Structure 1
């Protein structure tokens, strides 16, 4: 599953775009420098996310929308089309992402 696919699944599970979840995380005091465990616990308690989906959100909350280019364009199972993640909702994502 690609990183973007994890974020799309988070949106399906929560009904919130990744950007909306980032905003809610900031309201909770989470952001760059925050530790993963409290964020994962909050996402599980408030939004019902499991560890894998929560860890994808931890990355976005603490590091933003850039990911490593390791899998970009690799064609593998974990391949992403871009090193930038789309946070504004799967239905609004341009076709080339």
Structure 2
């Protein structure tokens, strides 16, 4: 699955965009000033528990929060 495919599926499942997840992560203290402060395990646990995302989809959001991918990445 392409990165865009992951984002599309996440949006369909949760109704949330990458920007929504950035805001949610900031409100939970996972980021500070746009920089990730939490570990991958903490992020994926949150996304799996709260949004019922699978590991790959949770890691896609982690990549966005980390800054290694963005909404335009393939």
Q: TM-score, normalised by structure 1?
A: 0.63
Unaligned runs of 5+ in 2: none
Runs of 4+ off more than 4 Å: none
Unaligned runs of 5+ in 1: 68-83, 87-97
Q: TM-score, normalised by structure 2?
A: 0.80
Structure number with greater Rg is 1
Equivalent residue pairs, number? 69
CA RMSD, 1 decimal: 1.8
Greater percentage in strand = 2
Paired residues for 1:30-49 under 5 Å: 30-31=30-31, 32-49=36-53
Measure how far apart 1:85 and its partner are. 1.9
